[in-house]
Amino acid sequence: MANISIRNVSKSFGATAALQSVSIDVSDGEFLALVGPSGSGKSTLLRIIAGLEEQTAGEIHIEGKRVDQLRPKDRDIAMVFQSYALYPHMSVFHNIALPLRMRQLSRLQRLPLVGSFIGRAKERQMKIAGEVREAARTLEIESLLERKPAQLSGGQRQRVALGRAIVRHPKVFLMDEPLSNLDAKLRVQMRAELSALHRRLGATFIYVTHDQVEAMTMANRVAVIMDGEVLQIAAPQMLYDAPRHRKVAEFIGSPKINMIPGRVTKHGDVDAAGAIIAIQLQLEIGANVNLGIRPEALHLVPSGSPGWEGALVHIERLGSDVFVHVKVEQLRDSIIIRLDPHKDTLPALGDRVTLSSIPDRILVFDANGERLSLASLVLEAANG
């Protein structure tokens, strides 16, 4: 296993900057997810670590050794792609065995029929077969070893691609959107299996995805990358509860966090769409801020109470949760509130309702998107 150090890596394609001075340290045995929207630079960074792409500036170190000048095969990494990249004419067994055959057998020893009689080829082939079957046992695909890829489901093909990586016993596993071709049910199953595989192997995983759910449910830490920059690296719950930037807060979480624009009053608190939030910000009077409030941090209150009043315009019933969309006159976007169908009295479409927030769950972002640290928050009054 290995630790990885990414130091001030930048990458430009002509005048377009794909990565801007990215620095990340990955611990030995860690599962790090790189998450961000399409075009954010996360896959480019993974390819640079693998040696498939050359950076414009910066350094990559694996186990303390700089590897920028090493070819991909000399970096001792294994990469799992979105497309699986299986050979259709080969059986599952031979697809998994391929990297071992290329590494341990000479060109002559790989020849059919006569190859087994050259040197110690037969002994090596038996060892390769044992390693392939061990990987197949780990991934529970022993019964599939004689099948061709066309005879497999998407999840089974993904396991074969993983098996081909496992048999190499690499220092680092790099995974680029490996579950994106699977249906929703199978993705959930494979998330659990990948997490279990990581625990069994104790290997260093770097996993690229645009799906925040994959990143949040599998990784020890998540790096949020946007426009070629790392905005924040933290444990999943920390990203959700304490995002450093508005972009991170809006990207992490489903449904999306509510953003309510506000303005600092002469008393230092915030007028946010008619509700007065007693925050006492050390900002100029009239300064613009945004209040970030997660759907579960809102609740319904009696009419006339402090908060935001609006009309219920949409209801999403998900069984265990209900998400209610409330249109407030002063706001462009509806406010989304999460309710418990077994505990809360659910309003009907068109009803007028009033929303209030759990004070210490409000996040405040300045005009540049940076989160402000606050000691306490109190929702004092509303103008309706």
Sequence-distant (6+) residues with CB within 8 A of 36 are: 42, 210, 224, 225, 226, 251
Indicate whether 251 belongs to any domain.
Answer: no
Which alpha helices (H) appear in 88-211, and where do they start and end?
A: 92-104, 121-139, 154-166, 184-201
223 and 277 part of one domain: no
Indicate whether 341 belongs to any domain.
Answer: yes
68 and 209 part of one domain: yes
Sequence-distant (6+) residues with CB within 8 A of 85 are: 161
217 and 261 part of one domain: no
Question: Would you call 88 exposed, middle or buried from its count of C-beta atoms within 10 A (0-12, 13-18, 19+)?
Answer: exposed
| Comparison of pLDDT for 175 and 185, the residue scoring more | 175
Indicate whether 44 belongs to any domain.
Answer: yes
Q: What is the mean pLDDT of the chain?
A: 88
Indicate whether 95 belongs to any domain.
Answer: yes
Indicate whether 81 belongs to any domain.
Answer: yes
For residue 244, the SS3 value is coil
pLDDT for residue 268 is more than 90: no
Q: Which helix (H) or strand (E) holds 146?
A: none
Residue with token string 């019964």: 143
* DSSP label of 350: T
Q: Which of 246, 272, 298 is the last residue of a domain?
A: 246
185 and 302 part of one domain: no
Q: Which of 188, 223, 246 is the last residue of a domain?
A: 246
Indicate whether 103 belongs to any domain.
Answer: yes
92 and 210 part of one domain: yes
The enclosing domain of 369 has a CATH number of 2.40.50.140
232 and 302 part of one domain: no
Indicate whether 50 belongs to any domain.
Answer: yes
| Comparison of pLDDT for 147 and 184, the residue scoring more | 147
pLDDT for residue 288 is more than 60: yes
pLDDT for residue 375 is more than 50: no
Lowest-confidence pick of 109-123, 130-144, 149-163, 238-252: 109-123
Both tokens of 11, joined, read 């990458």
199 and 296 part of one domain: no
Indicate whether 252 belongs to any domain.
Answer: no
> Taking a C-beta distance cutoff of 8 angstroms, is the pair 203, 194 a contact?
no
269 and 192 part of one domain: no
49 and 124 part of one domain: yes
pLDDT for residue 376 is more than 60: no
Beta pairing class for 31-35 and 221-226: parallel
What confidence tier does 66 reach under pLDDT thresholds 50, 70, 90?
very high
pLDDT for residue 179 is more than 90: no
326 and 360 part of one domain: yes
In 253-301 the beta strands, taken as DSSP E runs, fall at 258-264, 270-272, 275-278, 288-293, 298-301
Domain that holds residue 314: 257-382
The enclosing domain of 97 has a CATH number of 3.40.50.300
Beta pairing class for 172-176 and 77-80: parallel
Residue with token string 């927030």: 357
57 and 181 part of one domain: yes
Instruction: Indicate the pTM of the whole model.
Output: 0.86
pLDDT for residue 282 is more than 80: no
| Comparison of pLDDT for 21 and 372, the residue scoring more | 21
Beta pairing class for 378-382 and 275-278: antiparallel
41 and 171 part of one domain: yes
Q: Which of 200, 226, 246 is the last residue of a domain?
A: 246
Number of domains in the chain: 2
- Which one, of 263, 256, 253, lies nearest residue 334 by Cα? 256
Q: Looking at this protein, which amino acid is placed at residue 110?
A: R
